[in-house]
């Protein structure tokens, strides 16, 4: 781990030599290259207490003062972009070009909320009472917490951190055990940007510490909000844990995204969009296309073009610029992908490309294209979280919409069509929080990201993201003439 930026070198370089506590493993080599502390529940309690002491002054700072810290953080992220990207590739595995794109995406949340510092933060409403002002304003929640995933180790933090800080809150972060270094790097940069001490704590730990750290956060009455991105199973558990103290909860959970290609689609554009929607981060994304439905009249042409593109994808360590597909996060992830492919094969799917794990160092699975998967295949109901494209044919619009909606998830759906009427009809018919039309990528800081059904609660990014990190106060103020 060679870091150039002085702030990051100072904060993180020593972690490459401690060889104690929790190892951080490079998934491309299967070897530890850094070690981070194991935070105990007592240390979580101390962090909560320190955050509670620091937050009131930050909450009283002006919106412009808080925005200025975010603006400085964005500049530091830009200066340290190459280090931050390499850290992502080292601890998470994604190809360096994608890691650079993630840093730009992560920074865009910080810039977006820095830019919101000077905009309206409440409304004056038309009062029905004489001599009375009726208005709303946004207030800080107080001490807040986030549990973030490993698949976007930087962007999933800043999407929460930036509105939390702009809104005047203290922020306690439990990063995924696999990717703590990006979190520690952001904390070092935020403090360098002038964030007062006590407002941003990173609570690191191993797989066996997650329940204790999470439990210390969810059970504390001082913590007013929990934001979680991760699996639906863990999300439900955290939601139940937060019920006792009636915390604000934001959940961004599993996706199971359908991707529909109609007979009036631009086929080349649909193939290109599908490759992005599926293979971004080696398929390890909640918004990854999971079930692909292609109209029967164009099925063979589409699948031929897809097979040719998938066969050309190079797989290997993310630091090697020739590779498009990196490792999966760990060996368990490879087992899961293998299980899904075997199950689909047993239930009648044909494997046209790939379909095997790659033996040797690191946790790699070959980019895979399988067609004619059955409705009762595991991959029709569960996210694979790997580089597997599963394609099925359809012939009727209403039927394919019903099949796309036949899932407990509701994060994102994609479709390709050149017909304006169909675009309006199908967008309305899809029961998902986000719909991508003629694109395989919907993520941006300016739009509210989030799902319906069991894909989650609340929204991240955009104005709505700030509302989720603040509480709304209504003031009815009568000004009586003496």
Residues in the site for ligand SIN, rule: CB under 6 A?
A: 151-152, 229, 252, 285-287, 443, 449
What is the length of the chain? 482
**CB distance 24 to 35 below 8 Å:** yes
Distance CA 430, CA 84 (A): 37
- Residue 43 host element (H or E): helix 41-60
What is the closest distance, in whole angstroms, from the C-beta atom of residue 286 to ligand SIN in the complex? 4
Report the alpha-carbon distance of residue 398 to residue 402 in Å, rounded.
6
Please report how the helices 232-243 and 210-219 are oriented relative to each other, as an axis angle in degrees rounded to 10: 40
**In the complex, what is the shortest distance from the CB of residue 295 to ligand SIN, in angstroms, rounded to a whole number?**
27
Question: Rounded to a whole number, what is the largest CA-CA distance in the chain?
Answer: 85
Min CB(460)–ligand SIN separation in Å: 8
When CB distances to ligand SIN are compared, the closest residue is: 443
Instruction: Report the alpha-carbon distance of residue 250 to residue 459 in Å, rounded.
Output: 7
Closest to ligand SIN by CB, 200 or 449: 449
Nearer Cβ to ligand SIN, position 250 or 443? 443
CA distance 425 to 435: 12
3-state class of 398 per DSSP?
A: helix
The two three-digit tokens of residue 287, written as one number: 């918004």
Nearer to ligand SIN, 286 or 388 (CB): 286
Cβ burial, residue 225 (10 Å; 0-12/13-18/19+): buried
Tell me the closest approach of the beta carbon of residue 106 to ligand SIN, in angstroms: 10
Q: Quick one: 97 exposed, middle or buried, by C-beta within 10 A (0-12, 13-18, 19+)? A: middle
Which distant-in-sequence residues (6+ apart) come within 8 Å of 273 by Cβ?
A: 414, 416, 436, 438, 439, 440, 441
Query: Residue 229 or residue 256: which is nearer to ligand SIN going by CB?
Result: 229
Residue 447 Cβ vs ligand SIN, minimum distance, rounded to whole Å: 10
What is d(CA 258, CA 138) in angstroms, rounded to the nearest whole number?
37
In this complex, which beta carbon is closest to ligand SIN, that of residue 192 or of residue 252? 252
To the nearest whole angstrom, how small is the minimum distance from the Cβ of residue 105 to ligand SIN? Answer: 7
Reference 64, options 136, 109, 135, 119; nearest CA is: 119
In degrees, rounded to 5, the angle at the alpha carbon of residue 108 between the alpha carbons of residues 91 and 179 is 15
The residue among 160 and 224 lying less far from ligand SIN, judged by its C-beta, is 160
Task: Output 252 or 403, the one with its CB closest to ligand SIN.
Answer: 252
Q: How far apart are CA 304 and CA 236, in angstroms?
A: 41
Distance of closest approach, residue 287 Cβ to ligand SIN, in angstroms: 5
**Residue 211 beta carbon to ligand SIN: minimum distance, rounded to whole angstroms:** 21
Give the integer Cα–Cα distance in Å for 361 and 248: 43
**What are the strands, taking DSSP E only, across 307-428?**
350-353, 357-358, 364-365, 368-371, 388-394, 412-416
Nearer to ligand SIN, 15 or 186 (CB): 186
> Distance from CA of residue 194 to its chain's centroid?
26
| Minimum distance of ligand SIN from residue 449's CB (angstroms) | 6
As a dihedral over the C-alpha atoms of residue 102, residue 176, residue 442, residue 280, rounded to 10 degrees, the angle is 60
**CA 358 distance to own-chain centroid:** 27
- Which residues are catalytically annotated? 252, 286
Closer residue to ligand SIN in complex, CB, 58/152: 152
Say if residues 340 and 378 touch (Cβ distance below 8 Å). Answer: yes
């Amino acid at each position: 781990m060679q870091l150039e930026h002085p702030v990051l070198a100072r904060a993180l370089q020593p972690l490459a030599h401690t060889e104690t506590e929790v190892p951080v493993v490079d998934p491309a080599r299967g070897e530890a290259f850094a070690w981070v502390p194991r935070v105990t529940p007592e240390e979580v309690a101390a962090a909560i207490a320190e955050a509670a002491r620091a937050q009131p002054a930050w909450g009283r700072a002006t919106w412009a003062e808080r925005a200025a810290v975010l603006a400085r953080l964005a500049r530091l992220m830009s200066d340290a972009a190459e280090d931050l990207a390499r850290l992502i590739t080292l601890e998470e595995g994604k190809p360096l070009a994608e890691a650079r794109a993630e840093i730009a995406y992560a920074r865009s949340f910080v810039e977006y909320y820095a830019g919101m510092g000077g905009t309206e933060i409440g409304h004056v409403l038309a009062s029905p009472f004489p001599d009375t002002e009726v208005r709303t304003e946004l207030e800080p929640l107080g001490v807040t917490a986030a549990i973030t995933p490993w698949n976007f180790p930087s962007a999933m933090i800043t999407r929460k951190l930036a509105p939390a800080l702009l809104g005047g809150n203290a922020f306690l972060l439990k990063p995924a055990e696999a990717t703590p270094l990006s979190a520690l790097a952001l904390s070092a940069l935020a403090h360098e940007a002038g964030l007062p001490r006590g407002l941003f704590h990173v609570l690191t730990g191993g797989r066996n510490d997650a329940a204790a750290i999470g439990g210390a956060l969810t059970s504390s009455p001082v913590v007013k909000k929990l934001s979680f991105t991760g699996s639906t199973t863990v999300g439900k558990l955290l939601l139940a844990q937060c019920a006792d103290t009636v915390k604000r909860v934001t959940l961004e959970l599993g996706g199971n995204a359908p991707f529909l290609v109609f007979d009036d689609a631009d086929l080349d554009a649909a193939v290109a969009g599908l490759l992005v929607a599926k293979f971004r981060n080696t398929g390890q994304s909640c918004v990854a296309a999971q079930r692909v439905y292609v109209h029967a009249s164009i099925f063979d042409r589409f699948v031929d073009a897809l097979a040719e593109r998938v066969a050309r994808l190079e797989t290997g360590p993310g630091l090697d610029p020739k590779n498009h597909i990196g490792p999966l996060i760990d060996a368990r992830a490879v087992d899961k992908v293998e299980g899904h492919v075997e199950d689909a094969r047993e239930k009648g799917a044909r494997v046209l490309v790939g379909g095997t794990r790659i033996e040797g160092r690191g946790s790699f699975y070959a980019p895979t294209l399988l067609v004619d998967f059955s409705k009762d295949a595991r991959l029709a109901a569960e996210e694979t979280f790997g580089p597997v494209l599963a394609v099925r044919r359809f012939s009727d619009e209403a039927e394919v919409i019903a099949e796309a909606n036949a899932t407990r998830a509701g994060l994102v759906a994609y479709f390709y069509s050149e017909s304006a009427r169909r675009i309006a009809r199908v967008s309305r018919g899809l029961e998902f929080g986000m719909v991508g039309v003629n694109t395989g990528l919907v993520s941006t800081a300016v739009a509210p990201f989030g799902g319906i059904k069991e894909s989650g609660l609340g929204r991240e990014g955009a104005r709505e993201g700030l509302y989720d990190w603040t509480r709304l106060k209504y003031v009815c103020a009568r000004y009586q003439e003496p």
